[in-house]
Amino acid sequence: MKIILASNNAHKAREIEQLLPQGVQIVTLREVGFNKPIIEDATTFEGNALIKARTVFAEYHQPCLADDSGLEVNCLNGAPGVYSARYSGEGATDETNNNKLLENIKGKADLSACFRTVLAYIDADGKEHLFEGKVNGNLTLSPRGSEGFGYDPLFCPVEFPNKTFAELSLAEKNKISHRARALMAMNAWMKTES
């Protein structure tokens, strides 16, 4: 079965393909020739994932998958949340987002946070399915590590309380990450459907 991933990230496509049942082929938007802009203007991860999946499904009428994810910080009432990628404004980079986050958590006692992913899958019949993955942890007050991206240098998962995501190997991170957990839920569902 072929599933169109609402992304141009070939690395993400291969990672997803490895976590789904054998015989599932993930293709990117670039591979199918889709290059229209997709406006993610929902206020929830679920909403943005569905916008992406619905846009691609409307074009191809084939199974498609989209994800939206971000960091939710408890002392910031869940921010940056759905705005994680553009937390520091237009032209945001990982560095500017991390700097803004560090500024906003300065002096806070509660540094607990979670990474959350929502996958939206639309099957060949146009039915929509949502799968969620979440990993809890705590923030550090200075970046550590050189692996990963985004807020990884500031986030220590509960499974590795003394290591940030950016200090873990890709294999270690992929066992516990929010995306991996959402994909495991989707994988389990797909096995029951086949």
- Side-chain half-sphere CA neighbours of 23 within 13 A: 6
The candidate with the shortest Cα–Cα distance to 44, out of 73, 71, 82, 72, is 82
Q: How many contiguous H segments (helices) and E segments (strands) does the chain have?
A: 6, 6
What is d(CA 142, CA 132) in angstroms, rounded to the nearest whole number?
29
User: Which one from 41, 67, 68, 152 is the annotated catalytic residue?
Assistant: 68
For residue 12, report the phi and psi dihedrals to the nearest 5 degrees: -65, -40
Is residue 152 annotated as part of the catalytic site, yes or no?
no
What is d(CA 176, CA 42) in angstroms, rounded to the nearest whole number?
27
H runs (alpha helix) in the chain: 10-19, 29-32, 45-60, 94-105, 170-176, 178-193
Could you tell me which residues come within 8 angstroms of residue 125 by beta carbon, excluding any fewer than 6 positions away? none
- List active site positions: 68
